[in-house]
């Protein structure tokens, strides 16, 4: 089981990161405490990524990004992240219906991906064609 | 390489399914032609699932579901489905920015899932807690 | 692309293994030629495993074992092995219907496995219970 | 942990599906109870697939299909399904020797798949060639 | 849970293998006891592989090989092997810093692999080119 | 196929990153050009991670880290990264024997991980015990 760095043990750069995490989550998830305990530079790097990818309002809203995080975590069969991102999706406005629908889409493509590979299907739809047809408009 | 069932070879139930597929996609993707060639009941079953999960306007809109399909297909490293669903997401209104952001979220959780597993992190956030706190309101 | 050891280059122990492989397959698959080129001990070890697990008539017949090999290779998305074991299953008496049915079972469990994980389903059926109930007879 | 729909809560279509499941398994596995609780249409769809793929006597017998289910579930590392299908294979006539032999074939291809990919081996055996040679007979 | 073969139950070839295992590990890990209980030939085969690949001082030292074993076990999300090989790496001289650095490299490539696949990046660096340039020296 | 950002198109921060990459690799791999074309912030973030994890001389030397990168890329079956890191390992002093030995360790644990999971083996070796026994010295 991971060592976890408590609030009392956090100093310097880790303390700053902890404050930013608390501002975003209302708590410090064990996910970040474990990285802080293992290697402070690792925590910093992965918090920077979180802010840049999840915390930033880009073209996708946060709820959609949390649902994608749920989908990826199920596909990788990562228990901690499945639980955590299902919880976060609910906190960011997803309904339980959204969660169920996400899980249905995920299992649909678990088998569709599998069929596409097992039948060795030649590609007939690609993003380049779609972009090409839009460019011609 | 998969055998593919042409329009001319499609009869009976397969012909009906092909018509519904064409109504939805404007074409018959090889993915469905290959199943038709292998086993017509398989095609029927998987088309029924598509209608029920992707074709149905439930709580998530189609664009979001296509982005989740892209995320799952990347995680499973399934080339046909990656290409096809990136194309479909674009057709359903996703911008190239949405696609890039989806890929960033996917790679973020490829590594976050991995970290959570490698550090054996005890769960401290769960959907039950979130639902519980909402129920108390 | 792998270096491949030709028949002319095979000497000593590798030559002996090549003869046994040819007796079983009627040819030397590149899979074994590549290991011979990389490291002769590796070839020996993996040929010994093949004889012990696939070449040996244990409780399962060879056709069933080749169908399981197809199922595993699809699930691991390994193109060479998918192709090779689908071919070998056909050579060992599987019909194209058997192959299609195997692929249907594989995609069914791609999604059932996924659902069981995503819903975090508590175990209620186990081999120990079945064995226990048989022991009581 | 999944919500599970009890017999008492099952009405309408779910009740009918539960009866068919009980006819086949002698019980309602949590796998199906969890889907019923999440979304009745999902249960219906996945029960229809089960009947069509596992429940139907096609070219492969049920024991063989359960062994393939065990193989896929091990490869996907899905604990619930590993347990459940090992139990079902035993119930459908597999011996413990068949189960062990299945696990040996699965681990053999875990590493053979890996070797084929790591050495980037050019394909020299394919189902089309085998079918072609049979067609010429 | 696996059946485990105790020291008292070990006879003949299994007893010999147990002695060699104890010479190498100072104990018999459950990993080997479970294979002995399932099928003695399986144990023999896998112990032979261990001696040939891990126990043999080839070009890589044992510590490096244990760190690679940790990396593979994390990537496959196999809890028993993650624990066991992290312990063995420590026993073979790895520092906790080496373990943390290994985990950082592993999560880096979890996401880099993902990015390379999701962006469908054409290969521009290959071992053949490097070997070629060395051959010309 | 990915869009790639040429040297001529690189300006500002991307141009700076390109210079650092060229100092390290003697070229700009497509892996980085593709990220630059998709989203400059993504390139920056992933270059920062590379410098921090791979470029930094921590407790493991660069050759060992490249071999771990090869192992992870094989396990994830990511063709671009397998090729690229096998090449880089050779450039950083690995012999072809080291590469073959890495591949042997990787395939060994592909099957050992699988066996540990399929037999559901209870953990009897853990890093905490090893650390504990060292602390007592």
How far CA B39 is from CA of A110, B26, B90, in Å, comes to: 20, 23, 31
User: Scanning every residue of chain B, which has its alpha carbon at the shortest distance from the alpha carbon of E72?
Assistant: B118
Which pLDDT tens digit goes with each residue over D112-136?
A: 999 999 999 999 999 988 877 655 4
Q: How far apart (Å, rounded) are the C-alpha atoms in residues C110 and A114?
A: 7
Gap between the Cα atoms of C129 and E13, Å rounded: 31
Asked whether the beta carbons of residue B100 and residue F39 sit closer than 8 angstroms, the reply is yes
> With 0-12 CB in 10 A as exposed, 13-18 as middle and 19+ as buried, what is A102?
buried
Model confidence band, residue A9 (pLDDT cutoffs 50, 70, 90): very high
Q: What is the pLDDT along chain B (137 residues), one digit of tens a residue?
A: 789 999 999 999 999 999 999 999 999 999 999 999 999 999 999 999 999 999 988 899 999 999 999 999 999 999 999 999 999 999 999 999 999 999 999 999 999 999 999 999 999 999 988 876 655 44
Q: Taking 60 as the threshold, does the pLDDT of residue E135 lie above it?
A: no
CA–CA min distance A91, chain C (Å): 19
pLDDT at residue C137 in the model: 43
Q: Provide the mean pLDDT of chain D.
A: 94
Task: Using pLDDT thresholds of 50, 70 and 90, give the confidence band for residue E136.
Answer: very low
CA distance E62 to chain D (A): 21
Which residues in chain D have Cβ-Cβ distances shorter than 8 Å to B126?
A: none
Residues of D in contact with A104 (CB under 8 A): 39, 42
Residues of B in contact with A80 (CB under 8 A): 116-117, 121, 123
- How far is the C-alpha of F113 from the C-alpha of E35, rounded, in Å? 13
Give the rounded percent of residues in chain A with a pLDDT score beyond 90. 88
Average pLDDT of span D58-75: 97
- Alpha-carbon distance C86 to nearest alpha carbon in chain A (angstroms): 10
* pLDDT value for A136: 45
Span A13-32, average pLDDT: 97
ipTM value: 0.94
CB pairs under 8 A between D and E: 9
- What would the pLDDT profile of E30-49 be if each residue is shown by its tens digit? 999 999 999 999 999 999 99
Nearest to D58 among C97, C109, C129 (CB): C97
Give the closest-approach CA distance of B58 to chain A in angstroms. Answer: 8
Q: Averaged over F10-23, what is the pLDDT? A: 98
Q: At what angle do helices D79-91 and D96-118 cross, to 10 degrees?
A: 140
Mean pLDDT for F51-74 is 95
> For residue C42, which residues of chain F lie inside 8 Å, CB to CB?
100, 104
Residues of D with CB under 8 A from a CB of F: 74-75, 77, 79, 82, 103, 106-108, 110-115, 117-120
Look at residue F130 in the predicted model and tell me its pLDDT.
84
Task: Work out the mean pLDDT of chain F and round it to a whole number.
Answer: 94
CA distance D101 to chain F (A): 12
Q: Are F69 and F86 in contact (CB under 8 A)?
A: no
pLDDT above 70 as % of chain D: 96
Predicted local distance difference test score (pLDDT) of residue B133: 67
Phi, psi of E114 (to 5 degrees): -60, -45
Q: What is the pTM of this model?
A: 0.95
**Which band of pLDDT confidence, cut at 50, 70 and 90, is reported for residue E137?**
very low
Cα dist. E69→E7, E93, F101 in Å?
Answer: 27, 15, 12
Closest-CA residue of chain B to D53: B42
What count of Cα atoms within 13 Å lies in the side-chain half-sphere of residue A21?
A: 23
Average pLDDT over residues A43-65: 95
What band does A133 get if pLDDT is binned at 50, 70 and 90? low
- The answer to whether residue A134 scores a pLDDT higher than 90 is no
Q: Decide if E29 contacts E1 (C-beta within 8 A).
A: no
Q: In the complex, which subunits touch C with 3 or more CB pairs below 8 angstroms?
A: A, B, D, E, F
Interface test with B, best of D46, D52, D76 (most B CBs within 10 A): D52
| Best D83, D100, D114 residue to mutate vs chain E (most E CBs within 10 Å) | D100
Evaluate if residue C5 carries a pLDDT over 50. yes
Q: Are residues F22 and F11 in contact, defined by beta-carbon separation less than 8 angstroms?
A: no
Q: What is the pLDDT of residue C131?
A: 78
HEC profile for chain C? CCCCCCCCCCCHHHHHHHHHHHHHHCCCCHHHHHHHHHCHHHHHHHHHHHHHHCCCCCCCCHHHHHHHHHHHHHHCCCHHHHHHHHHHHHHCCCCHHHHHHHHHHHHHHHHHHHHHHHCCCCCCCCHHHHHHHHHHC
């Amino acid at each position: 089981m991971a060592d976890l760095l408590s609030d009392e043990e956090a100093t310097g750069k880790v303390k700053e990161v902890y404050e930013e995490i608390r501002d975003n989550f209302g708590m410090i998830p064990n996910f970040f405490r474990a990285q802080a305990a293992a290697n402070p530079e690792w925590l910093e790097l992965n918090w920077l990524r979180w802010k840049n990818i999840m915390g930033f309002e880009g073209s996708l809203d946060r709820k959609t990004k949390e649902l994608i995080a749920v989908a990826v975590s199920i596909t990788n069969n990562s228990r901690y992240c499945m639980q955590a991102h299902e919880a976060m999706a609910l906190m960011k406005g997803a309904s339980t219906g959204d969660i169920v629908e996400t899980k249905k889409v995920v299992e649909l493509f678990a088998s569709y991906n599998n069929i596409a590979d097992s039948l060795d299907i030649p590609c007939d739809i690609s993003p380049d064609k779609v972009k090409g047809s839009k460019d011609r408009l």
